Amino acid sequence: MGIKQGWNGRFYEDFEIGDIYPHPLGRTVTKTDNIWVTLLTQNTNPIHFDDYYSSQTDFGKPLVDSTFTLALVTGQSVTDISQNAMANLGWDKVRLPNPVFEGDTIYSYSEVLEKRESKSRPHVGIVKVKSSGYNQRAEVVITFERTMMVYKKDSSPNQENNLLTEVLKNEK
């Protein structure tokens, strides 16, 4: 019986322009998520945390802080897009076409828009994707472009779990 490595993400060479990656996990947004991120970011708009105040708005209930939505969809994309990123270079064209409410479940996918060799770092390439998040009603709630430096296969840090071999030896 041997050790079988799990999924370790894509490397620069694995990206092809036009590929679409559906991200595997959805996430239901809770009231706690919304309040915590609002407090952590020092966002004082009561539309995110005051039920009475938000009941008087056009939405009739609290809106989820949009920075949470951006962070959530970015996080959902990591396993497919940036598990092997050396660095994020930027988020552009962030759009929020529909609101997110507490209790919504957010799913996402990303499309590869561009890729090129890095001019300054030969061990990485530059990849640009467009990520989109949508809810359980199939409404798109966020889109954005993200550019990152992604390691090439032969240049990434070692991802092997050397400790596991030692643990397995000690169990025998």
Task: Dump pLDDT digits (tens) for 135-161.
Answer: 999 999 999 999 999 999 988 777 677
Question: From the CB of residue 165, how many other CB atoms can be counted at a distance below 10 Å?
Answer: 11
Query: Among 42, 31, 25, which Cα is nearest to 108's?
Result: 25
CA angle in degrees (0–180, nearest 5) for 77-78-79 = 95
Place of tokens 């092809």: 16
Q: Confidence band (pLDDT; 50, 70, 90) for 5?
A: confident
- Quote the strand ranges of 10-166, DSSP E: 20-22, 27-28, 85-95, 105-117, 124-134, 140-151
Query: In the chain, what is the straight-line distance between the N-terminal and C-terminal CA atoms, in Å?
Result: 13
Residue 61 CB coordination number (10 Å) = 13
Which architecture does CATH list for 12-171? Answer: Roll (3.10)
CA–CA separation, 67 and 52 (whole Å): 22
Q: Give yes or no for residue 26 having a pLDDT over 90.
A: yes
Helix, strand or coil, per DSSP, at residue 160: coil
Mean pLDDT confidence for 16-22: 96
Bridge partners (DSSP) listed for residue 149: 87, 126
Q: Name the pTM for this structure.
A: 0.89
